Amino acid sequence: MKYDEIALSVSQLNEYVRRSLASDPMLQSIVLTGEISNFKAHVSGHLYFTLKDEGAAIACVMFRQSAMTVRFRPENGMSVRLLGSVGMYTKTGAYQFYADRMEQAGMGELYLKFEALKERLMGEGLFDSSLKKPLPLLPRGVGIITSSTGAVLHDICTVSWRRNPGMPLYLCPVKVQGEGAAQEIAAAIRRMDKLPEAEVLIVGRGGGSMEDLWPFNEECVARAIAACKTPVVSAVGHETDYTIADFVADVRAATPSAAAELCVQQREALLQAVHQQTERMGQHIRGVIGQMEMRLSESVLRLERLNPARRLENDALRLNALKIRLQNAVRHQLVQKEHRLSQAVLRLRAAGPEETLRRGYALLLRDKHLIRSVEGVEIGQEMDIRLADGTLGVRVERIEREESHGGQNQENGVL
């Protein structure tokens, strides 16, 4: 056998060992206990340390995403329990332990108890969002359930009175850790729920270990919060700390100061919001009133148009206008006819015998009949000659007939 036929590169060997370790189920999801040494928190968020006991040590890595779930600050010399798997860093060939979870030694039972209660209460629906009560915008007062000697009370009071100096705060002091603390907290919640002046409750304490925060993981506290008719804000520990009280409460605050900010609105901001809302309401009301006035005016006009008295008045006005127009038309017609009549009279007079007589002519009448020809006239007959200014009685003495060729035929007699 030639050595070059079975030779492996370092990378190939390390990769083979890594895969072998990763495929071994005995090396996956195992719990490892020991003491931390050479601890280093990298800027990336990863944790690097060695876990050792009396006879051996192993290099450990906890990546950022898993490190964010650690609820305490790891330190050298601290006894811990790790949940993770064995692997190899192929670049250096280093065999190491990859931790997914870290607990302080002795906390395993508490963690399992926490998870069991959490699952049971979740199954009962105590965490449902539909049960969460909204916080009042401007409560009459804020109830505080915490220790009377800790910094929590000071922080809540400072933030609350800075945001609204007139906000009443009601304290029900309780133990927040140790034996009997959970029962005191539950009793205080029930007592404050009966205080009408406290329209929102803050239940909390400062940070600490899991043992320190354990009263807020007790079932009696969870039941008291769930049964409380007053909205409850939980403010237990630091931002990364979660307790059963946080899941049951109506609102979880990252810190006690944040809880005060949630419960107490800034007075100036509220006044500004009220002013703006008042202005908007005023504008809206003025607009609505303007529209209603316009509609009312239109309705009044329609009613006036439909009013029988108004219609009769309008009809009377129209009738009077028609009467005046008819009278004017009749007068105009009469004037025109009078003018035409006067013109006709003038023409008639101009064409009548009186005008002719005034020009020197005369009319010959016999028995009041006009004589137009000498035919039928006899000598000796009496006749009337009508002149412009009177009548003459005459007798025919002579008759002269005109011939068609200009000659004359004379009879004796005088006219």
Report DSSP letters for 189-238, one per residue: HHHHHT-TT--EEEEEE----HHHHGGGGSHHHHHHHHH-SS-EEEEESS
**N residues, the chain:** 415
| Domain ranges, ordered by start, for the chain | 3-106, 112-265, 358-414
pLDDT, tens only, 100-159:
999 887 555 667 788 889 999 999 999 999 999 999 988 999 999 999 988 899 999 999
- pLDDT at 403 exceeding the cut of 80: no
Percent over 90 (pLDDT), the chain: 40
Question: Rounded to two decimals, what is the model's pTM?
Answer: 0.49
- The rounded distance, in Å, linking the Cα atoms of 90 and 96 is 11
For the segment 394-407, the average pLDDT, to the nearest whole number, is 75
pLDDT at 4: 57
The conformational region for residue 230 under phi > 0 = left, psi -120 to 50 = alpha, else beta, is beta
Q: Which two tokens stand for residue 240?
A: 């990364």
Q: Which two tokens stand for residue 201?
A: 């409750």
Rg over alpha carbons for the chain, rounded to the nearest Å, is 64
HSE value, Cβ hemisphere, 13 Å, CA-based, for 75:
4
For residue 250, the 8-state DSSP code is S
Which residues, at least 6 apart from 379, have a Cβ–Cβ distance to it below 8 Å?
396, 397, 398, 399, 411, 412, 413
49 within 8 A of 74, measured Cβ to Cβ? yes
CATH topology of domain 112-265: Rossmann fold (3.40.50)
pLDDT at 155: 93
- The rounded distance, in Å, linking the Cα atoms of 136 and 100 is 41
- pLDDT at 414 exceeding the cut of 50: no
For the segment 38-67, the average pLDDT, to the nearest whole number, is 91
Which residues, at least 6 apart from 270, have a Cβ–Cβ distance to it below 8 Å?
137, 138, 164
CATH of 3-106, one of 1.10.630.10, 2.40.50.40, 1.10.3720.10, 2.40.50.140: 2.40.50.140
- pLDDT at 415 exceeding the cut of 90: no
